């Protein structure tokens, strides 16, 4: 079983280049099958979730050409959109974004039969808003036995849809289905995350007519069909935020390249509250920290608020500050599973309801840890890099789902991290083995 071995204590220094946004890529790859013409997509992050979705898309008959590590050409012409179409394989059940295939297939073929989505266990994560949206457009949706969603319609008609809760997934899925519906659809109380805008921009390059993405009212005027296109995905806001928190926790000096500073505002302002220096340039951000840092308060909110996907990483950095920080999670009900692992490193964290009270400590100490989900895994890596001594982190498959070449990027910044699946190598690392010997 692969795990990270990390020797903490190095202040990270240098440049890191951010990859394409995972949560935009997942919506865009699903949308790409909505035309029978070829679509070329660039800056696709090389992470397990995008590879899984591409496999699922191939499994239903689309052709996928892997032009290079970050560029694919997709053609949906080979998909047989009849009632025989079923998206199900062991992979698709693992990723949340499989639900985007419902909106894409329902929009294009007026029929979709997809296994219920999986994804990180950070809360109940129902899809009732997605279903309500599809039904309002005129579809019949059935949660069939065996954990499948079957949606069908003779036609989809534009409608007014109000989302009771701000949902990224429901906003994108309804946008997909409404793109090829008849007439106008209005999505109110829509999510405003950068990836929503990126998916809408991609659909518009294929000939869709979507306005207002990035605001809480999105207007979609249905079109008869979509055409081929070329598109490049935006940088990953959360990967960038993760490296910013890492630079601060290790008291480093890092230039984060290929970012959109506007997307980072909520994260940058919290790091500045802690006493870090954050300097913005056109497409990169320098983050520096040294010495004592201050405690602060963080509450997760939909964009442009502080992203829930940065909550754990921020908590890890706040463990090494002066004072008591409060971290409140308002989006998901089970997103503090990393707390017990940080406590093993000597962190002092008290959980009360959906708030973690973090008493800053002068140091953390390396330990054997287990990741419980994608962002929790990233948080443990940050804590281990800032700690004294050696840590090992298991279940890194979670991290590989959403971070491209995470260990290699950290090593390029001077972090002492390897991936190993052998106990003897871990022991050697603990005894001070250098990291030059590295797995591809
Ligand atoms: C997306 O998940 C992201 N995943 C998550 O990132 C992210 O944490 C989340 O948005 C919030 O920003 C992808 O993009 C693949 P939601 P999603 O629908 O769409 C409730 C990561 O680490 N809700 O915005 O599942 C829901 O329970 C992942 O990259 C309903 O009640 O999130 C939650 O409390 C983890 N009914 C809230 O809305 C619904 O039908 C927000 O969820 C849908 C959602």
Q: Is the CB of 126 under 6 A from ligand 1?
A: yes
Cα–ligand 1 centroid distance for 210 (angstroms): 22
Residue nearest ligand 1's atom 16 by CA: 167
Q: For residue 351, what are the β-bridge partners? A: 356
Query: 170 C-alpha vs ligand 1 centroid, how far in Å?
Result: 8
Write the CA distances from 405 to 47, 277, 306, 386, 421, integer angstroms.
8, 26, 25, 20, 17
Q: Which atom of ligand 1 is nearest to the CA of 119?
A: 35
The predicted structure's pLDDT at residue 439: 43
- Contact between 391 and 366 under an 8 Å Cβ cutoff? The reply is yes
Q: What pLDDT was estimated at residue 204?
A: 98
Q: Cβ(308) to ligand 1 under 6 A? A: yes
Which amino acid residue places its CA nearest to atom 38 of ligand 1?
167
Distance 128 CA to ligand 1 centre (A): 12
Q: Is 155 in the pocket of ligand 1 (CB under 6 A)?
A: no
Closest-lying ligand 1 atom to the alpha carbon of residue 123: 27
CA end-to-end span of the chain: 16
Q: Say if residue 437 is exposed, middle or buried (CB neighbours under 10 Å; 0-12, 13-18, 19+).
A: exposed
Any ligand 1 atom below 6 A from CB of 120:
yes
Calculate how far, in angstroms, residue 427's C-alpha sits from the geometric centre of ligand 1: 39
Instruction: Output the tens digit of pLDDT for each of the chain's 440 residues.
Output: 999 999 999 999 999 999 999 999 999 999 999 999 999 999 999 999 999 999 999 989 999 999 999 999 999 999 976 666 677 666 677 788 889 999 999 999 999 988 877 767 788 889 999 999 999 999 999 987 678 899 999 999 999 999 999 999 999 999 999 999 999 999 999 999 999 999 999 999 999 999 999 999 999 999 999 999 999 999 999 999 999 999 999 999 999 999 999 999 999 999 999 999 999 999 999 999 998 999 999 999 999 999 999 999 999 999 999 999 999 999 999 999 999 999 999 999 999 999 999 999 999 999 999 999 999 999 999 999 999 999 999 999 999 999 999 999 999 999 999 999 999 999 999 998 765 544 44
Ligand 1: which atom is nearest the Cα of residue 402?
Answer: 29
Q: What's the confidence (pLDDT) of residue 83?
A: 62
Closest CA to 179 of 235, 234, 100: 100
Measuring from atom 9 of ligand 1, which residue has the nearest CA?
168
How many residues are present in the chain? 440
By annotation, the residues acting in catalysis are: 120
Report the distance separating Cα 286 and Cα 277, nearest Å.
Answer: 8
Q: Would you say 336 and 356 are in contact if contact means Cβ atoms under 8 Å apart?
A: yes
| CB contact at 8 A, 62 and 237 | no
Beta strand 140-144 with 253-257 is: unpaired
How many angstroms does the Cα of residue 28 sit away from the middle of ligand 1? 17
Q: Which amino acid residue places its CA nearest to atom 18 of ligand 1? A: 167
Per-residue model confidence (pLDDT) at position 373: 95
Four-residue CA torsion sign, 313, 128, 235, 214: negative
The pLDDT score that the predictor gives to residue 362 is 95
Best mutation site among 116, 168, 314 for ligand 1 pocket (most ligand atoms within 8 Å of CB): 168
DSSP state of 323: S
Tell me if 374 CB under 6 Å of ligand 1: yes
pTM of the model: 0.97
290 pocket-lining for ligand 1 (C-beta < 6 Å): no
Give dist(CA 440, CA 140) in Å, integer.
Answer: 48
What's the 279 CA to ligand 1 centre distance in angstroms? 30
- Using an 8 Å Cβ cutoff, are 109 and 128 in contact? no
Identify the pLDDT of residue 437.
46
What is the dihedral angle through the alpha carbons of 191, 195, 201, 207, rounded to the nearest 10 degrees? -80
Whether 391 lines ligand 1, by a CB cut-off of 6 Å, is no
Contact 170, 126 (CB under 8 A): no
């Amino acid at each position: 079983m692969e795990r990270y071995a990390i020797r903490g204590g190095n202040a990270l220094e240098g440049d890191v280049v951010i990859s394409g946004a995972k949560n935009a890529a997942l919506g865009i790859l699903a949308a790409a099958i909505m035309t029978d013409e070829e679509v070329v997509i660039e800056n696709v992050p090389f992470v397990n979730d995008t590879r899984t979705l591409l496999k699922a898309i191939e499994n239903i008959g689309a052709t996928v050409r892997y032009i290079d590590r970050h560029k694919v050409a997709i053609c949906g012409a080979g998909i047989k959109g009849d009632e025989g179409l079923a998206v199900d394989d062991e992979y698709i059940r693992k990723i949340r974004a499989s639900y985007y295939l419902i909106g894409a297939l329902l929009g294009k073929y007026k029929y979709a039969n997809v296994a219920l989505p999986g994804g990180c266990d950070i809360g109940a994560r129902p899809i009732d808003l997605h279903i309500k949206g599809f039904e309002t457009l005129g579809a019949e949706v059935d949660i069939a036995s065996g954990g499948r969603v079957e949606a069908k319609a003779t036609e989809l008609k534009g409608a007014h849809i109000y989302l009771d809760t701000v949902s990224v997934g429901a906003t994108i899925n309804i946008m997909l289905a409404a793109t090829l519906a008849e007439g106008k659809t209005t999505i109110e109380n829509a999510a405003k995350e950068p990836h929503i805008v990126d998916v809408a921009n991609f659909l518009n390059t294929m000939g869709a007519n979507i306005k207002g993405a990035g605001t809480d009212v999105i207007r979609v005027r249905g079109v008869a069909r979509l055409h081929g296109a070329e598109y490049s995905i935006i940088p990953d806001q959360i990967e960038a935020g993760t490296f910013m928190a890492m630079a601060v926790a290790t008291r480093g000096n890092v230039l984060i390249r290929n970012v959109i500073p506007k997307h980072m505002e909520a994260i940058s302002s919290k790091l500045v509250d802690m006493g870090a220096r954050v300097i913005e340039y056109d497409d990169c951000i320098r983050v520096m920290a040294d010495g004592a840092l201050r405690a602060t308060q963080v509450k997760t909110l939909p964009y442009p608020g502080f992203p829930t996907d940065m909550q754990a990483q921020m908590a890890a950095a706040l463990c090494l500050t002066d004072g008591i920080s409060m971290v409140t999670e308002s989006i998901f009900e089970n997103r503090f599973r990393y707390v017990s692992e940080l406590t093993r490193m000597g962190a002092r964290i008290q959980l009360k309801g959906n708030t973690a009270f973090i008493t800053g400590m002068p140091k953390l100490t390396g330990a054997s840890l287990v990741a419980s989900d994608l962002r929790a895994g990233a948080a443990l890596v940050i804590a281990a890099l800032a700690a004294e001594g050696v840590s090992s982190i298991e279940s890194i498959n979670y991290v590989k789902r959403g971070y491209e070449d995470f260990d290699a990027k950290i090593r390029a910044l001077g972090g002492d991290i390897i991936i190993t699946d052998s106990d003897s190598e871990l022991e050697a690392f603990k005894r001070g083995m250098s990291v030059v010997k590295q797995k591809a």
